[in-house]
Chains A and B, each alone.
Chain A
Amino acid sequence: MIVEGEYTFSGPRDVVWELLQDPEVLSKAMPGAARLALVGDGAYEGSIRVGVGPVTAAEWKLAVTLQDRDPPAHYVMQVDSKGPIGFTRGSASVDLAETDGGCTLMRYRADLQVGGKVAGIGQRLIDQVAKMMTHRGLDALSNELRARLAEEA
């Protein structure tokens, strides 16, 4: 499954970059009381609870590794997660570009494999769930950015 899109953050690129590396910020941006901890250089581990509609929320173990880092413009995120009803793994490439008015344009493209029971039964909903989680996560990051900039000002 490919999830791709663009998102504009109203803040400078180096601040956005910092947010994207901060495990505390990232866990706030993920749904369902996520926990995430830095376990090595560019390596994170944690868990999230995900449930959609009738599906009871379940805990997924999550490992994220950042590669090909070129601060503050580009990185690739390797994602590996396992839950009681399936798994996802794959990579997401993230590019940050400065735009007019001190904003930052993020371009992302993730190529994810989803397997297990959730893929067998929930196939028709996976794309929609991925989109929803991406949009909510980016909105949460954007709010965090605004809060941080307001603090500094």
Chain B
Amino acid sequence: MKPAPFEYHRPTTVEEAVDLLGRHGYDAKLLAGGQSLIPTMNFRLAQPAVLIDLNRVEELDFLREEEGGIRMGAMTRQRAAERSGLVGRGAPLLAETLPWVAHPQIRNRGTIGGSIAHADPAAEIPAVMLALDARFTLRSSGGTRAVPAEEFFTGLFGTSLEPEEILTEIEIPRPAPGSGWAFAEVSRRHGDYALAGVAAAVVLDGSGRCSGARITLLSVGEGPALATEAAGVLVGTEPSEDVVRAAAEAVGRGIDPPADIHATAEYRRHLAEVLTRRVLPRALERARASAGA
């Protein structure tokens, strides 16, 4: 269980990292928390020729509040975000979800940006970023661009990151008044890969009418999935139990889940529907409290 030989670089600035990546591109892998990459290398499934370690790039490890919401560096440890009051206030859906990510030991090392860039279809953080309508800053030696989560995730472990680009920052917009959120997943044991999971962010106006909804799913497709049809069922209504049930059915219709030794496709679809029926009432309850309706 030792990795194949590789060349090791440990830059201390983003500029240096970007420069290294520009030189090695396809042959290089970026090391963030290493909670997925290192096991994959030790099994020799991944054999990158060059490893660029981002753990000494201090400018990538920050968390701050801005006018529009929260901004964090990609190397923010998952545990740091989980325990941050700033995240608790500014991105409560993320705070609620992080305890579901693997185990505390893994979250101590694992980073928010690493999980996003890895884009594992069973990972919680990409699905939550999609629900929160987050934006990612990608940087290369050619410049910087901002990509919304919706365009960033492109399929099985697929992202719009170019080989010479680094994910540097994550922006999460401040929740609108009347926002509610909730997350739930089912796994065999706590910390295992989820069989299915659902994140929801909803907005109610002063009269209790739903003016926005983002429902996202994990472990039921090639990547984190936005349930647009289900959101359409909610928006414009005063969400009753029947509306929630209709939205859950729309979630089930909109997915083509994988089958493996842990769960059949049908069981995953069933879980996605049940979890939607659990998550939405909780999100709506919080939204009502926040809207004062």
Query: Is B141 located at the chain interface by the 8 A CB criterion?
Result: no
A131: interface (CB < 8 Å)? yes
- Report if A132-B155 is in contact (Cβ < 8 Å); known contacts: A56-B47, A117-B43: yes
- A-side contacts of B119, CB under 8 Å: 53
- Taking a contact as CB atoms under 8 Å apart, the answer to whether B222 and A128 are in contact is yes
Closest to A127 in B: B258
Q: How long is the Cα–Cα vector from A105 to B217 in the complex, in angstroms? A: 31
B47–A132 contact, CB under 8 A? no
Interface presence of B152 (CB below 8 A): no
Contact of A55 with B258 in the complex, beta carbons under 8 Å: no
Q: Is A85 an interface residue, CB under 8 A from the partner?
A: yes
Specify which chain B residues have a CB less than 8 angstroms from the CB of A129 in the assembled complex.
156
B126-178, CB < 8 A from A? 155-158
* B249 lies within 8 A of chain A by Cβ: no
Q: Which of A52, A85, A117, A118 contacts B156 (CB 8 A)?
A: A52
B293 at the A interface (CB under 8 A): no
Contact of A55 among B45, B155, B260 (CB under 8 A): B45
Q: Is B289 an interface residue (CB 8 A)?
A: no
A121 at the binding interface (Cβ < 8 Å): yes
CA of A5 to CA of B288, assembled, Å: 44
* Contact, CB under 8 Å: B45 / A124: no
CA distance A103 to B127 in the complex (A): 38
Interface size class of chain A, counting residues whose CB lies under 8 Å from the partner chain: 20 to 34
A99 CB-CB contact with B under 8 Å: no
B48 at interface by CB-CB < 8 Å: yes
Given A54-B157, A55-B45, the answer on whether A131 and B40 have CB atoms closer than 8 Å is no
Contact status A124-B122, CB under 8 Å = yes
Contact, CB under 8 Å: B47 / A126: no
Given the known A-B contacts A56-B45, A121-B43, are A128 and B261 also in contact in the complex, defined by CB atoms under 8 Å?
no
> Residues of B contacting A132 with CB < 8 Å?
155-156, 222
A21 at interface (Cβ–Cβ under 8 A)?
A: no
Nearest-CB residue, chain B, relative to A86: B45
State whether the Cβ of B205 lies closer than 8 Å to any Cβ in chain A.
no
Q: Which interface residue of B119, B121, B157, B158 has the most chain A CB atoms within 10 A?
A: B157
Q: Is A123 in the interface zone, CB < 8 Å from B?
A: yes
Please provide the chain B residues from 103 to 134 with a CB less than 8 Å away from any CB of chain A in the complex. 118-122
Complex contacts, B259 vs chain A, CB 8 Å: 1, 127
Residues of chain A lying within 8 A (CB to CB) of residue B40: 54-55
Greatest chain B CB density within 10 A among A55, A56, A117 is at: A56
A-side contacts of B221, CB under 8 Å = 128
A128 engages B47 (CB within 8 Å): no
Q: Which of B119, B193, B222 has most chain A Cβ within 10 Å?
A: B222
Known: A85-B45, A128-B258. 10 other contacts (CB 8 A): A1-B259, A54-B29, A54-B118, A54-B157, A85-B44, A117-B43, A124-B122, A125-B156, A127-B259, A132-B156
**What are 15 A-B residue pairs whose CB atoms fall within 8 Å in the complex?**
A53-B118, A54-B29, A54-B36, A54-B37, A54-B46, A56-B48, A85-B44, A85-B45, A117-B45, A123-B261, A124-B122, A127-B258, A128-B121, A128-B258, A132-B222
Can you list the 9 inter-chain pairs with the closest CB atoms, starting with the nearest? A53-B157, A127-B258, A128-B258, A56-B47, A55-B45, A54-B40, A54-B46, A124-B260, A56-B46
